[in-house]
Amino acid sequence: MARYFDVHPVDPQPRAMTQVAGILQDGGLVAYPTDSCFALGCSLDNAEGKERIARIRNLDNKHHFTLVCADFSQLGQFVHLDNAVFRAVKASTPGPYTFILPATKEVPRRLLHPKKKTVGVRIPEHPVVRELLKVVGEPILSSTLLLPEMEEPMTDGWAIKDRLDHEIDAVVDSGECGLEPTTVVDYSEGYPVVTRAGAGNPTAFQ
């Protein structure tokens, strides 16, 4: 059964964040809130966690998983950014955007798009995930909690626990966090292509 953590949306309890970080570091899979909607997350070195996310969401190997980063300097360790892309990404973070960018050698090969050698990255604005990232000390490998039979992501923590109780290890609930997933901007060819318009205003990239 998944553990359930009811945390404050602005000032999450340190003990709870430490426990959730421990679950991630021990190979667990966690549902947690972001500034767009709930996400499924595991540690970067958790190969089984990645496969569990893929099974829950019915994803193929062309899906771009996202490295959810604490800040811009951490993001810069995992993707290549030229000056123009640097400015565009910097201006939109933190916020509800995912950027598809060429990966550095710091990204494990199994996390890359099989052909493009790219990876998704984002810096969320939600206080709970920002605190969790601070405690974990590295990015969380994530994907939107959008189940294959549903048209919209799940938003209620107890409903997530009820639906995925035997498939994940923890649910972090801080109340409503929105219905829309991130806006996805693909820079894999060196220029922006909005592949999904979501919570973030896509105008600057069109």
Q: Secondary structure of 106-155 in the HEC alphabet?
A: CCCHHHCCCCCCEEEEECCCCHHHHHHHHHHCCCEEEEECCCCCCCCCCC
Instruction: Determine contact, residues 159/147, Cβ cutoff 8 Å.
Output: no
Which residues lie below 8 Å from residue 3, measured CB to CB, with a gap of 6+? 19, 23, 169, 170, 171
Using one digit for the tens of pLDDT, what is the confidence trace for 62-80?
Answer: 888 999 999 999 999 999 9
Mean pLDDT of 150-176: 93
The whole-angstrom separation of Cα 165 and Cα 139 is: 24
> What domains does the chain contain, in order, with CATH numbers?
3-205 (3.90.870.10)
Q: What is the pLDDT of residue 71?
A: 95
Using one digit for the tens of pLDDT, what is the confidence trace for 10-51?
Answer: 999 999 999 999 999 999 999 999 999 999 999 999 999 999
Q: Is the pLDDT of residue 179 over 90?
A: no
Using one digit for the tens of pLDDT, what is the confidence trace for 122-141?
Answer: 999 999 999 999 999 999 99
Find, among 65, 39, 30, 5, the residue nearest to 154 by Cα.
Answer: 39
Residue whose entry in the numeric block shows the structure tokens 């929105």? 178
